[in-house]
């Protein structure tokens, strides 16, 4: 008797659905770029919609959520730091005839802030293209595993059968 586990066949439609989990973050960037949490909410919403789907789709939806979750602390710090600079300079309360606040904004941009914002821009650009690359590869039927995130996804994604129509 052969007790080996046979790999489950993946329907071509599942490749598209799994790739859409990554594209949710890309679409959310267009609408929610200033708010870092919007991408995470969009990816998590997609996961909630697909939590009864096949293991392949769920796995990629969870990996997409975790990829967004990694960005949230970095982007939130950049967002809070930027808002703090504007509030400290009282940019929102100045008159439009006074150019003094415009020049004081450049004086408030310290070297650590510029370095951190450069890092954030590079980090988000890398993640943006990595998400597009992953979505394209998954749509073609390749299983893309992100470093460190894939191991966490393996632990979070249950392989139990969740077919609600199975009697």
As given in the structure block, the two tokens for residue 44 are: 């998590």
Distances (CA, A) of 121 to 58, 76, 126, 127, 134: 29, 13, 9, 10, 20
Q: Any idea of the CA torsion for 63, 65, 66, 67, to the nearest 10 degrees? A: 90
pLDDT in tens, the chain (167 residues): 444 444 566 766 777 777 777 777 666 666 555 566 888 888 898 888 888 888 888 888 899 899 889 888 998 899 899 888 878 776 555 555 455 556 666 667 888 999 999 999 899 889 888 888 998 888 888 888 888 888 888 888 866 655 554 44
Distances (CA, A) of 123 to 63, 99, 153: 18, 33, 21
As given in the structure block, the two tokens for residue 120 are: 């954030």
pLDDT, position 6:
43
d(CA 131, CA 144): 10
User: Among all chains, which residue has been given the structure tokens 């490749």?
Assistant: 15
145 backbone dihedrals φ, ψ, rounded to 5°: -115, 125
As given in the structure block, the two tokens for residue 156 are: 């979070």
pLDDT, position 161:
57
As given in the structure block, the two tokens for residue 101 are: 């606040």
Longest Cα–Cα distance in the chain: 86
pLDDT, position 166:
46
pLDDT, position 92:
52
pLDDT, position 122:
92
pLDDT, position 4:
45
pTM over 0.85: no
pLDDT, position 159:
65
């Amino acid at each position: 008797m052969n007790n080996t586990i046979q790999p489950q066949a993946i329907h071509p439609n599942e490749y598209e659905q799994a790739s859409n989990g990554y594209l949710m973050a890309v679409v959310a960037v267009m609408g929610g770029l200033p708010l870092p949490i919007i991408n995470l909410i969009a990816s998590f919403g997609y996961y909630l919609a697909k939590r009864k789907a096949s293991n392949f789709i769920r796995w990629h939806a969870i990996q997409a959520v975790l990829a967004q979750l990694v960005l949230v602390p970095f982007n939130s710090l950049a967002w809070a730091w930027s808002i703090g600079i504007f509030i400290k300079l009282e940019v929102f309360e100045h008159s439009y005839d006074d150019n003094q606040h415009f020049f004081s904004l450049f004086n408030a941009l310290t070297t650590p802030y510029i370095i951190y914002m450069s890092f954030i821009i590079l980090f988000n650009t890398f993640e943006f293209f990595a998400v597009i690359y992953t979505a394209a590869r998954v749509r073609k039927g390749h299983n893309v595993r992100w470093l460190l995130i894939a191991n966490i996804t393996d632990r979070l994604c249950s392989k139990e059968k969740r077919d609600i129509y199975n009697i």
